[in-house]
Amino acid sequence: MTPRQRVFDAHAHLAPGPEAVARLIETMDRCRIDRAVVVAGGAITPDQLSRQLIEGGYVATDADNDAVLAGCDRSGGRLVPFFFANPHRGGADYRAHGRHFRGLKLAPSVHGVGLLDERTIALVEQAEGFGHGVYLHCVQRPGFGVAALVTLAERFPAVEFVLGHAGVGDLDLYGIDLIKPRPNVVFETSGGFTFVVKTALDRLGADRVLFGTEYPLQHPDVELAKYRVLDLSEDDWRRVAWQNTCRLTGETDG
């Protein structure tokens, strides 16, 4: 891995507030990250999300997709917007505005709607129509786990799905094995152990692993350090850090 290669963060959040874009761009500059996929932050507090991850539950709060779109417009092309859908709305807002975005973000642990729920399926159908990839989290709960994601991906083979945050928990080697037969599911590594990242690269190949940061909950330097110690070849790092996210967002590899 060489620091001169371009880096495209596959998953960051744009926090609420007028200075959010400037703070994110400043952090990207310090960390030598060229571009980032961004979704809205602030739909749920970290404390409430922590509780819901363990106990279940949901919020029906909308994310501020308008602020994300406006922030990306001001970024000079460095920020790429994904639409953070609220399944409780029935998909009307995504249907109306999805063409302005480059992908779809689903958060079952936030909104409490399972991956095989008809509301989720309706949103993925819309994503397929827009030509969007779908980024989502899984949790270990019936209908919310990696097995449900695989079933969803089988139903929509033309949609690229991203299993976010290195799967479920700290050591989701099983999740890696579950998605391996589904070529339209890729693995984003923010928050994951270095060992899990290495296992994903070995079992899935560099074409199915994406570098992401989960900014601002995680500092990008922490995620970059994980890859530095793995000492990837230049070609593998180019795929993980740039080409795969270009493919996900429909960007040219230029």
**Model confidence pLDDT, tens digit, residues 137-153:** 999 999 999 999 999 99
Could you report the per-residue pLDDT of 84-117, keeping only the tens digit for each? 999 999 889 999 999 999 999 999 999 999 999 9
SS3 80: strand
CATH-assigned architecture of domain 8-249: Alpha-Beta Barrel (3.20)
pLDDT of 128 above 50: yes
All structural domains of the chain with their residue ranges: 8-249
Q: What CA–CA distances, in Å, run from 61 to 44, 47, 110?
A: 7, 15, 9
pLDDT of 201 above 80: yes
Q: At what angle do helices 194-204 and 220-230 cross, to 10 degrees?
A: 60
List of E strands, 181-234: 185-188, 209-210
pLDDT of 234 above 80: yes
pLDDT reported for residue 42: 84
pLDDT reported for residue 108: 95
List of E strands, 133-242: 133-136, 161-163, 185-188, 209-210
Could you report the per-residue pLDDT of 2-26, keeping only the tens digit for each? 446 999 999 999 988 889 999 999 9
Model confidence at 40, pLDDT cuts 50, 70, 90, reads very high
pLDDT reported for residue 1: 47
Model confidence at 254, pLDDT cuts 50, 70, 90, reads low
Contacts of 248 (CB under 8 A, 6+ apart): 10, 37, 103, 133, 160, 162, 186, 210
